[in-house]
Structure 1
C-alpha cells in the first residue's frame, strides 16, 4: 500500500464549493434515512485546530459527524479502506488519512497532531473500530498523545441510533425509522502534563453523557 499521509490543509476551493455540495448531498440522503437531529453544534470552534472524538456504532458515522460539523474534517481511517478503488479515492479527496491498526502507528499520530497545529479539524473514533452491540468499547490511548502533542481544543460528539441506518456487518444503508442524534459536548484543552488516564476518563465520561439511550 502506498503512503497515504500526504493530505494537507483543505484548500479554499474545497471549503467554498465541495464541502457545501457534500453537505447538501448528505442532507438529502439523511432525510431519506433519518431523521437526523444535531444538538450543540455551536460549541465546535469555528477556527483553529480542533480534535473531534466520536463513538463508533456504524459505517455511516464519519458522514454524520461531517454533516453535523460546520467545518471540513480530516478523518483518521483504517489503512485497508484506502486500497478499495472507489472508496479509497473518495476518502483521499475528502481529506481522510490512514492509520495502521493493531500496532502503535506513531506516524499517523504525529500527522494528526501536525494537521491540528496548522488549524485543521481532525476526527477520530477512539474505540478504533465499530461497536458490534452499540456499547462503548475500550478507548485507545493514542488519542491522548495527539491531544498533548497538538495542544488544541478537544470536543466530543455522541452518536445515537446510526446503527439502525447501517447495522453492523451490512454495506447498504436503510431508513432508521427513528431519530438519529448527534450531541456535541463542551470543548476542552489539555496540557502536556495531562496523563493518558485522565484524558481517557474525560472522554469516556463525555460519551456516557452525550450518547442517548
Structure 2
C-alpha cells in the first residue's frame, strides 16, 4: 500500500517536473520472472523507474542506506533489501533469488554504484548469476537525462535478455555476460 501511494505521487512529480517519456515498456514480459537492470547516475534512479513501472520493484540497495534505522525501516517497507558491495554478499543474493522465485520483480544496478562515465568492466557478475540461477529474464533499462527540472527525462526499455538455456558458467563468464548486459543498457539509439 505504501509503495503504491509513493509510486502515484512520484509518477505525477516526474511527469510534471521532468516531462517523462517512457519508451519500449511493451517489451517487458508479462508472465516471467523479471530483473530490471538499469544504468545508475543518480539517487533518483530507482524512484524514477518505480514511478513509471506499474508493478512493485524490490530494489537491491547499498548497505550504507541501512545504517540509519529510520531510512532502513522506510526502504524495507517499500520492498528494498540491502547488499554489501565490498564482499560477495550471499544473504543479499539469496534474498534476490527468493524474491524472484516468489514471482516478485527485482531491480539491480549492474554497476553496483552511481557512475558518471561508462566503464563496462564495472559490471558485477551477480546480476547474470542471479538471473541464470532463478531462470529470470533481464530487462535492460536506460535512463536518459540529468534530472534538471523542466528538462525531459526518458526511460528506455531495451529488448529482454533470456539466460535460461545457458549452461552453468564460471564467475569470469558471468562477469562477461554482465558486461554485455551493460552494453545493451547503454546501446545507442532509442
Shorter-chain TM-score range: 0.7 to 0.9
- Matched residues in 1 for 2:162 and 2:179: separation? 14
Alpha-carbon distance in structure 2 between the residues aligned to 1:124 and 1:82: 17
If the length of structure 2 is used for normalisation, what is the TM-score?
0.86
Checking the alignment, whether the CA contact within 8 Å between 1:57 and 1:134 is kept in structure 2 is no
Mapping 1:165-204, distance limit 5 Å: 165=147, 175-191=148-164, 192-193=166-167, 195-204=173-182
- Decide whether aligned partners of structure 1 residues 31 and 188 sit closer, same or farther in structure 2, where only a CA change above 3 A counts: closer
The CA deviation at 1:211 is 7.7
**Tell me, which stretches of 5 or more residues in structure 1 are unaligned?**
1-13, 166-174
Matched, 1:146 2:124: no
CA change 1:77–1:200 in 2 (3 A) is same
Structure-2 separation of matches of 1:35 and 1:99: 32
Q: Rate the CA distance shift 1:61–1:134 in 2: closer, same or farther, 3 A.
A: farther
Residues 29-38 or 55-64, more deviating: 29-38
Distance 1:28 1:105 in 2: 36
- 1:73 aligns to what? 57
Which of 15, 24, 27 is residue 8 of structure 2 equivalent to? 24
Deviations 1:156-190 (A, max 9, x none): 100111xx32xxxxxxxxx4332111100111221
Cα distance between partner residues in 2 of 1:46 and 1:210: 26
Give ranges in structure 2 of 5+ residues lacking alignment.
Answer: none
Cα separation, 2, equivalents of 1:211 and 1:141: 26
**CA RMSD in angstroms, aligned pairs only:** 2.1
> Per the alignment, in what secondary structure is the counterpart of residue 122 of structure 1?
strand
Question: Equivalent residue for 1:207?
Answer: 185
Residues matched between the structures, number: 184
Among 102, 108, 118, the residue aligned to 1:135: 118
Report matched runs for 1:77-92 at 5 Å: 77-92=61-76
TM-score, structure 1 as length reference = 0.78
CA distance in 1, matches of 2:179, 2:61: 23
